[in-house]
Structure 1
């Protein structure tokens, strides 16, 4: 449990230090040393530690800390940089580390330790309170990500989203079943769902505290397990495919966090939920599907299914709900993993004005993003790749795979300011979800 300036004081206090005359203090960045005579645990840090590294070291230290402690949060201000950013990073890292995670074991996971965060000042208290809401939903996202695919089906994920949303004032939640999805003519989503024994679901969450603000839609890829379909993945690439619904969890959690925080915002989330299976009714390679916006798509690769469900989700947000700006979040391409590794989420946009807003948001959230190119030629190759449909979902050259996917999606944004976020490399670490981009979308949605 995370406490704030609690009267429930513990015997031990944790402090950050960059130097110490006490020879017992281990002077390795990230190392913790308990000096029992001083009733203090020292966390050694370099004064030049970056915010990224600080977050990593704090998460590691607090994940393994076996004690309930008071945390002298202001001792971390020895790091060079803005105190408010340092405070936010440390608090959120502790909250991240304190989440026990989802598990289904005979012996339940032990709850996290109690940490009493000690600090002064109204401004820091406001940051703490906002971080507490954000991290509640980051951790909720992570727990959804960790569900095994036989439990975390499209229907069950939708149910869990609805359950979590209960009691959040000002939040409207609508769940579309398969029949309603058919009525909406979401042919791309239905094509991905065709081989599944579990029906698709679309979850829409709406929160508007000020209708004068342009409505921003967050669209999430919700593939609860991705076999690759008839373009079946090899065995090594099937592991981790339960995380292919991460985008759906991220976008819904972001809107719920904004609503719970009573933020000034006009936002909605669209989570397109299904799995991608093989079977007698599954969509075949070279099939042609019709999207909700009327464009036809030839299926060059059934394993390029994420862009299909997102395309219909984008159309739903624009045409049915009047979204004026669009952001999607998706574990979309292996190419982004090669390009950026696990250090950055890949971002794509043709609208510099909207992207500048996004840059402010991800910098304030202290989440790491790297912009990638998206040009007219990226769409042209997708259009030329089919002789029978308006475009192909996967052109064969494998060049600029993340960019061509982004261009495919940008087509469905119908000229609206649009940002695509590829979290294929940042979604999870060591078989546990990370909940990336929840904090960034929270900042982007707040006005």
Structure 2
């Protein structure tokens, strides 16, 4: 349990700058703590200019391994960091992230100690905003962690819809299979063709300022990816329940913005289906027609994420009148090789929009790295002899960039950013809801 500004517990965590305390018993090493029973105090050694990752490691370890209920004295901690309000929000978010009771079906669930966060009244607004953000970050993590037999397109839709209905001024729309067919979203339907579970598209709309361009977040929601007829090997089937992470992330970001009463014009489009093998499943070398009319040859049924996103982009442009687009997807294995688990890969056709996004990522302390998006990458995706595009390309080079180039075709010359979170969406079989905070910061005006 987290409470604020009640010195309720016997022990208090106090931060100090390295070499600043003249106490013989103090462990003067950054990140280490010293317990003083007489003073009922745990001293935490810190120093200025710590990297975000180091701050995260220190405070997540403190809250996850605490043996006692604790008061946490933020005034002493922030003194080390020159009272930086962004550091305050970062640490609060780490605590709320680390103490979240994650989804579990075990008989016995882990428990955490209680914490009281003590801070100056001038920081209350920052705390409330961080608390709202993390409520929905943690909601997205719970969606990610659902096993695929429970986290179907139908169930995830119901959970997002239920959460949305708790928030005033937030419009939620759900497209059923019949409505998806009526919209001629042929790429989404092609991915869903082998499944006995119908697809869903969940749209959240939040607008408080119609005078600004509408921004759309479009999320890949493959609730389990078998690879289709280009079947994945058994070692690559692990973690495929996380292939719906994009839909969880974009939905959570709009939920948080609406709950925070941000001044913005934003929508999310979550495209939900699984990718299965079956008698009606799409075959390799089939040709599908997208919602915007372009034809796509299926060079590889395991390159399905870009298909559902393409139809989602068209829907956002033509049905919702979005002028700025951001897609979020666990899209390519290539990004894991290029950037590892440390950076989200980013691609954009608009430098001004991208710079705005990068500034938001700095506020959220989430690392992104821009990769190239060139005409040469698109040429690779135009190799089909019989269709406008091939979904897998004609060579194995620069797989993340060629996938982004495929998607950029469907931006219809609108400002566009693609976020490939395949290397950052989850860790150790647990969802992280990466980029939810950055999307929030981008639109929280």
Give TM-score, length-normalised by structure 2: 0.96
Conserved? CA contact 1:31–1:61, under 8 Å: no
Q: Is 1:412 aligned to residue 413 of structure 2?
A: no
User: Where does 1:116-135 land on structure 2 (aligned, <5 Å)?
Assistant: 116-122=116-122, 124-135=123-134
| Consecutive unaligned residues in structure 1, runs of 5 or more | none
Conserved? CA contact 1:423–1:436, under 8 Å: yes
Structure 1 residue ranges (4+ consecutive) displaced by more than 3 angstroms after TM superposition: 19-29, 78-82
Distance 1:251 1:163 in 2: 16
User: Where does 1:276-295 land on structure 2 (aligned, <5 Å)?
Assistant: 276-295=275-294
Q: Residues 398, 74 of structure 1: CA spacing in aligned structure 2 closer, same or farther, 3 A cutoff?
A: farther
What residue is the counterpart of 2:164 in the other structure?
165
Conserved? CA contact 1:318–1:324, under 8 Å: yes
Conserved? CA contact 2:217–2:325, under 8 Å: yes
Conserved? CA contact 1:174–1:203, under 8 Å: yes
Offset at residue 75 of structure 1 (A): 2.2
Conserved? CA contact 2:373–2:405, under 8 Å: yes
Over aligned residue pairs, what C-alpha RMSD do you find? Answer: 1.5
Offset at residue 105 of structure 1 (A): 1.3
Conserved? CA contact 1:221–1:330, under 8 Å: yes
What residue is the counterpart of 1:154 in the other structure?
153
Distance 2:43 2:334 in 1: 42
Offset at residue 42 of structure 1 (A): 2.4
Offset at residue 61 of structure 1 (A): 2.1
Distance 1:27 1:157 in 2: 48
Distance 2:324 2:188 in 1: 21
What residue is the counterpart of 1:11 in the other structure?
10
SS in 2 for 1:210: coil
Distance 2:104 2:291 in 1: 38
Distance 1:48 1:36 in 2: 30
Count of residue pairs brought into register by the alignment: 443
Q: Is 1:238 aligned to residue 237 of structure 2?
A: yes
Q: Residues 417, 81 of structure 1: CA spacing in aligned structure 2 closer, same or farther, 3 A cutoff?
A: farther
Q: Is 1:65 aligned to residue 66 of structure 2?
A: yes
User: Where does 1:74-93 land on structure 2 (aligned, <5 Å)?
Assistant: 74-77=75-78, 79-80=80-81, 83-93=84-94
**What do the CA deviations read for 1:215-249 (whole angstroms, capped 9, x no partner)?**
00000000001111111111111111111101100
Larger deviation, residues 42-51 vs 300-309:
42-51
SS in 2 for 1:353: helix
| Consecutive unaligned residues in structure 2, runs of 5 or more | none
Distance 2:310 2:155 in 1: 23
Distance 1:25 1:244 in 2: 47
Distance 1:25 1:387 in 2: 72
